[in-house]
Structure 1
Amino acid sequence: MTVKKLTCPVCGSEEKTFKVSEIYIQSLVRLKHGDEAEAPIIDALQQEIPVERRDKLKGSRYYRQLMESFAPPQGESTASRAINPDWVAVGMFLLSLFFLYQIFATQYGAFWYMVIMVVVAFGAYLFFRTRLLARYQAQRDQESGQRGLVEKSVGQWMKLYYCATDNVVFGLKKDETVPIDQMRPYLLAKSQ
C-alpha cells in the first residue's frame, strides 16, 4: 500500500514532502544501526543538504540532530510522583512508634516529653490536612491534564508532513505551515 503524500501549501509540490513520523522513525533506525540500515527518506533528505554542510553532518551526529528536530511533543519531566499525605503520615506514625519504644527502653525520663511532641506533630498534621490534600489533588490534576495535552499533541504530530524544499511542516489545517523549529510549541498550542 502506497501512502498518499500531501501537497506543500508553500511550493505546491509533493515531490519532496515526507511524513514527519516516518522521518523520526527512520532517523532512529539509522542512529541505532548506522548507515547500513534501510531509510529511503533519510537518504532523500541528505541529498537536499548543500555539499559543504553534508560533509560536516555525517553519521550519528546528523541522525541525532534529525531525530531531535522531528521528535514528537513531550511533557515536562518530573523528578518524582506526588505521594498522598496520609501515607506519609502513616509512615511517620510507625517510625515515631519505633523511636518512642527506643526512648522508653533507654531514656525513660524523656519519654513523656517525646510523646507530647509526637501528639503535637500529629495534631498539626490533622489541622493542616485539608490544605495538604488540596495541594496534592491539584498536583495530580495538573499531571493528568499535562498527559492528556501531550497525547493529543502526539496524535496531531502523526498527521504532519514535512516539505524539504521549504523546511516547513504542514497538514493540520489547509494552507497552514510552520517552520520545523517551531513544530512542538505549535502542536502544544493547538492541543489546548
Structure 2
Amino acid sequence: MAKGKRPATYEDIEALPPGWVGELIDDELWAFPRPAKWHAWVASVLAAKLGSTFGVGQGGPGGWWILIEPELHFGRQVLVPDLAGWRYERAPELLEQDAPFFDLAPNWVCEVLSPSTAALDRGRKLPLYHRVGVSHAWLVDPRAHTLEVYRRGPRGWRIARYGGEDVVRAEPFDTEPLDLGRLWAPGSAPAPGP
C-alpha cells in the first residue's frame, strides 16, 4: 500500500457502482465489473453439476454446501470466489445465520480466471486461501480450456493440471467424473498458450 494511503474498508465496497464486485485484500480494494459471458457460463455449469451431485446429492454422494459467489470474511480480508463449498459435517448450520457473509473458511474454492483477475487470483488470493485453511482450490481458465486443482499441503499447494476435453476426477469431488468439455462455451476454441 502506498505511504499515507488509508486502508480500504467495507464502506469502499458498498460505494462501488451497481454490478461491480469488490474484495479487500491486505487493506487494498480490488474491484471488477461482472464477469464476461464465457466466465459466467463456466461458473454456471460447474455450479449446476457440483451443486446437484454434491450439494443436494441427486445422482451423487451429496454432503456439501455449494454456493455461487459467497462473500468470505477473514479478519479484514474480504474475498468473493466464483464458487465455494463447505462439507456438511464441518458446517452443519452454515446457512442458519442471517449474516450476508461467511467467516468460516470453505473446504473448496473455485476461481474462474479472466484476463483482468488472473494475476490477483493466482498471486494474492491463492496464498490467502492456503493461509486460512482452504483444503482445495480450483482455477479454471475458460479461454485456455484448463482446470488446475490445488490441494493444500503443509507448506504450499500441490497442483494437478487438466485440459481440453478430458474427463477427470478432480479433488475434492473425485468420486464422480467431470467432463471438462462441457465447461467450455459451445463452439469456443482454446486460446493459444504462451
TM range (shorter): under 0.3
**TM-score, structure 1 as length reference:** 0.21
Bigger helix share: 1
**TM-score, structure 2 as length reference:** 0.21
Bigger strand share: 2
Structure showing greater Rg: 1
